[in-house]
A and B are shown apart, each in its own frame.
Chain A
Amino acid sequence: MDLSMLWYLVPSVIMFTAGVFGFVTRKNMIAMLISLELILNSADLNFVIFNRFLFPGQMEGMIFTLFAIAIAAAETAVAIAIIINIYRSIGNTDINSAKEMRH
């Protein structure tokens, strides 16, 4: 079967939009983090698609994706650690309760 690049790009764009939408509307920090992962994965997907379809002889997009996945994992680890600290101090992970500082 011959699928064109568009068939792969549309899911990627949907993931990106869903991620941005989720990041803005979700109130739970974990859910916000998941939305961020969606945006990161959509970027990775873009790299792989463009590499596969536009520049099939080269590898840079794939290599970049590998690094980006590792970086995303590191980001999640740090964010989760901070969320756990917040949970210990205020007992929930609702972003609306994090408004001690506001002027």
Chain B
Amino acid sequence: MDYSQFGAMLPELIILGLFFVVFLADTFSKEGEKKWLTPFTTILFLLSTVAIWLIPASGETIFGGMYVDDTACKAMKAILNIGVFIVFLQAAEWTESDEMIVRKGEFYELILVTLFGMYLMISARHFLIFIIGLESASLPLAALVAFNKKHYESHEAAIKYILTAVFSSAILMAGLSYIYALSGGSLYFADIAKAVTEGTRSGLLIVGLAFLIAGIGFKLSLVPFHLWTADVYQGAPTAVTSYLSVVSKGAAAYAFFIIFVQVFGAVFSDLWEWMMYAVIILTITVGNLFAMRQKNMKRFMAFSSISQAGYIMLGVMAGNLGLASMMFYIFVYIVSNLGAFAVIAAIESKTGKVGMDDYDGLHKTNPWLSFVMTLAMFSLAGIPPFAGFFSKILIFTSVTASNSMALYMLVLVALINTIISLYYYLLVVKAIWIKPGEAKIERFDSTRCERVGLVICVLGIVFFGLVPYIYDYCYEAVKTAYGILI
């Protein structure tokens, strides 16, 4: 075997190396040195993020076509890396708390392992690699959700997460086995795509596709596979919730796109267009309707993220142009959502309050946090000068680019839902700025790490819509890798 092939997996090797370094540092450091672990990991991770942005993609296909490292995969990995970096900044304060101090190393290690799994999911061109990546991304996440050992909610969230995760991967594998039967004995994406293009539209293929949508839909919390989301988001530690809501969703969305558009693209209009059509409309609408009645901020963000997942999935309907706008949407979603979660996490760690009513009059005591939260809500709702508006507009135009009437209707439904979502996002803004009465949260200073994280999010929200650098980067990456086809 030619071991030099591993050299093409540079992003994975960087993350794996980082994992081993953190693991060894955690294991062999003495009690007094433990306090250096957080800055050590965060700075090393920042360096790896920069490295992954700067290293050009090798563009090689290795292991006989099982793994590819093209420009689009690399761009997606870089985007995810930024999300994880912001999560690390937010988690710094939490990992220094008394009950966390002895096992904060495990937190970083598990996050790095899941990130490695997501990299594999993104780059996989063979279903075996994809499944391995998916599982190494979702199993450590269950351990992370259960991380607050002293809190019962954390365990309850973890059992709900692990049971649905295993159920979804079991369904996924069952669907895969049916597709394997039709594929001519190969699990390579390319071979299956060929078999699907040439083969007949049998019932087995429909069942297999439905199972695949269900299996990955669970990870993406698409309706009707979303029931675990609210409980898990509420019970998990806030740092883990923010990680779960953006990074793991982004990776799953990219993998979903690759599998469905590149492997089953030939049967798009015959078989799975209407399935995704129904799923997207349900996801956006149900997410919105349930978000309106939430009083707990973490549950609120859970339903908001369900609805956002629907918008992300719009990219799947639009071919390769959709991939570029989907990656941009994921990036904007990462900064906006993490901005909101940074405020929630800061307030929760200082006062323990997560109710929306507790945010009444927040601007009197904590104007900066209120400012960030407002920007994040505006961006999530898609109000013009902020990045969320541009990401929505780009994903809508990419869907309508094919001039199909059905897709126009889909965009119309999404548009109406954007207006509905404005209502509940503005509820938070109203609580912060307009509601009369005394503020319920004392004034406090956030830590330096939190501030850096908030500043990155604000810069992302304000500038990345107006400055087209990120979108151009995604567009060029997709164009180099797959060519833009409309």
Contact = CB atoms under 8 A, between A and B. Distances in A.
Interface of A: 16, 19, 23, 29, 32-33, 36, 39-40, 42-44, 46-47, 50-51, 54-55, 57-58, 60-61, 63-64, 67-68, 71, 74-75, 78-79, 81-83, 85-86, 89-90, 95, 98, 100-103
Contact of B294 (A51, A67, A103): A103
A74 B135 contact: yes
Contacts of B169: 40, 71, 75
A58 B185 contact: yes
Contacts of A82: 142, 146, 155, 158-159, 162
Given A54-B185, A98-B160, A103-B294, A43 B176 contact: yes
A-B residue pairs, 4 tightest by C-beta: A55-B185, A46-B177, A43-B173, A39-B170
Interface stretch (B125-133, B339-347, B448-456): B125-133
B153 A101 contact: yes
A90 B152 contact: yes
Interface string B169-187: 1110110111011001111
B36 interface: no
Contacts of B171: 39
Q: Chain B's interface: helix, strand, loop or mixed, by majority?
A: helix
B139 interface: yes
A67 B135 CA distance: 11
Interface in B40-99: none
Interface of B: 127-128, 131-132, 135, 139, 142-143, 146, 149, 152-153, 155-160, 162-163, 165-167, 169-171, 173-174, 176-178, 180-181, 184-187, 230-231, 234-235, 293-296, 299
Contacts of B293: 103
Contacts of A57: 185
Q: Chain A's interface: helix, strand, loop or mixed, by majority?
A: helix
Given A36-B163, A46-B174, A82-B146, A71 B128 contact: no
Given A43-B170, A103-B299, A50 B162 contact: no
Contact of A75 (B158, B162, B231, B235): B162
A43 B163 contact: no
Given A46-B177, A68-B131, A71-B135, A39 B153 contact: no
A75 B296 CA distance: 31
Contacts of B235: 100-101
Given A32-B163, A67-B132, A78-B139, A100 B156 contact: yes
A23 B181 contact: no
Contacts of B160: 98
Nearest to A24: B167
A54 B163 CA distance: 33
Contacts of B157: 101
A79 B132 contact: no
A58 B177 contact: no
Most chain-A CB neighbours within 10 Å: which of B167, B170, B178? Answer: B170
B177 A83 contact: no
Most chain-A CB neighbours within 10 Å: which of B158, B184, B299? Answer: B158
A81 B155 CA distance: 10
Nearest to A77: B139
A74 B117 CA distance: 15
A63 B187 CA distance: 11
B163 A79 contact: yes
Contacts of B176: 43
A50 B170 CA distance: 17
Contacts of B186: 58, 60
A64 to B, nearest CB: 6
8 contacts: A33-B166, A43-B170, A44-B173, A51-B185, A67-B132, A79-B162, A100-B156, A103-B230
Contacts of B162: 75, 78-79, 82
Contacts of A64: 127-128, 131, 180, 187
Given A39-B170, A43-B173, A100 B152 contact: yes
Contacts of B156: 86, 98, 100-101
A79 B153 contact: no
Given A47-B180, A55-B185, A101-B235, A40 B155 contact: no
A90 B165 CA distance: 23
Given A29-B159, A79-B162, A43 B174 contact: yes
B163 A29 contact: yes
Contact of B143 (A40, A78, A100): A78
A67 B131 CA distance: 9
Given A39-B167, A82-B162, A103-B296, A50 B139 contact: no
Most chain-B CB neighbours within 10 Å: which of A29, A44, A103? Answer: A103
Contact of B185 (A60, A78, A81, A102): A60
A43 B177 contact: yes
Contacts of B163: 23, 29, 32-33, 36, 79
A12 to B, nearest CB: 9
Given A60-B185, A75-B135, A85-B146, 5 more contacts: A43-B176, A46-B177, A55-B185, A82-B158, A101-B230
B155 A89 contact: yes
B350 to A, nearest CB: 22
B295 A63 contact: no
Contacts of B142: 78-79, 82
